[in-house]
Amino acid sequence: MNLHSMSAADSTRRNSQVFRDALIAYSQMSDVELQGHRNALHYEWDDCTDLDSASEEVCRNLVGDWLAAADTVLRRRSLRSRAFDSPRWEEWKELSDRIRRDADIVAIFAAAGWPLVRQGLEFGGPCFACGGTDRLRVFPAPDERHDHPRAWCRRCGGYWDAIGCLRNVSAEAMNFGYFDAVAMLAESLGMNVPSELKAHKVPTSRRPRHAGFVEFVGGKAVPR
């Protein structure tokens, strides 16, 4: 079985509870977060080959469901963006891209009282998604592979830009939608937020994100 064979169109995956749970979790991520998470899932898929045959099958089923869900969310967003009013959509995209690059991601954690410890050029701390005590890595500056600051968990594989971090660690923004968080950060950076974007501020109820990977217990792959 190869990676190409497990598409989001596979009806058996759509009936999976893992697939449905992943759809909910991934719908709360930004495009950049989801693409980063999807890339990590591809590495997880490759690592399934290191397991015994029974565990490899479990691993591929789980990771396959997660990948199918990620592809489904990205495809739906692509279709929606085509139907979106083009000037307004481009305005949103330009604003969120600027914030992603310019926001002080470490300051977001500091303002929320989230514990981070400097470790060389990066920061480490507990992960708000999986509960790991020291696996979250926060990179405060762009590098040759990423054009924006970001956070990544070595345990669950979660990936967040500044906007996603704000929505997860700030009590004020915890129930905000994605665009609401964009507007909040834009205003804090002194950026102009068009009036139609400000009018979008409607709190939304979000479930905690726990979309993680497989854990290996006693050489066996089990869902977390």
Q: Is the pLDDT of residue 156 over 70?
A: yes
CA distance 164 to 81: 20
Residue 198, classed as helix, strand or coil, is helix
Contacts of 214 (CB under 8 A, 6+ apart): 44, 58, 59, 62, 63, 221, 222, 223, 224
Residue percentage of the chain with pLDDT more than 90: 13
- pLDDT at residue number 7: 44
Across residues 115-141, what is the average pLDDT? 89
Q: Is the per-residue pLDDT at 124 higher than 90?
A: yes
| Residue 80's pLDDT band (cuts 50, 70, 90) | low
136-139 and 159-160 beta bridge pairing: unpaired
CB 23 within 8 A of CB 69: yes
Assigned token pair, 189:
């950076």
Tell me the C-alpha distance between 90 and 163, whole Å. Answer: 18
pLDDT of residue 82: 61
pLDDT tens figures, 11-25: 556 667 788 788 777
Q: What is the pLDDT of residue 90?
A: 75
Question: What is the mean predicted confidence (pLDDT) over 50-61?
Answer: 87
For 169-200, what is each residue's pLDDT tens digit? 887 777 677 778 888 888 888 887 766 554 44
Q: Which fold has domain 86-198?
A: DNA Primase; Chain A (3.90.580)
In this predicted model, which residue has the larger pLDDT, 214 or 91? Answer: 91
Range with top average pLDDT, 17-21, 28-32, 33-37, 60-64: 60-64
Q: Give one DSSP letter per residue of 119-149, joined into a string.
A: ETTEEEE--TTT--SS-EEEE-S--SS-SS-
pLDDT of residue 96: 86
pLDDT score at 136:
92
- Which residues are CB-neighbours of 189 under 8 A, at least 6 positions away? 99, 102, 103
Residue among 163, 39, 190 nearest 108 (CA): 163
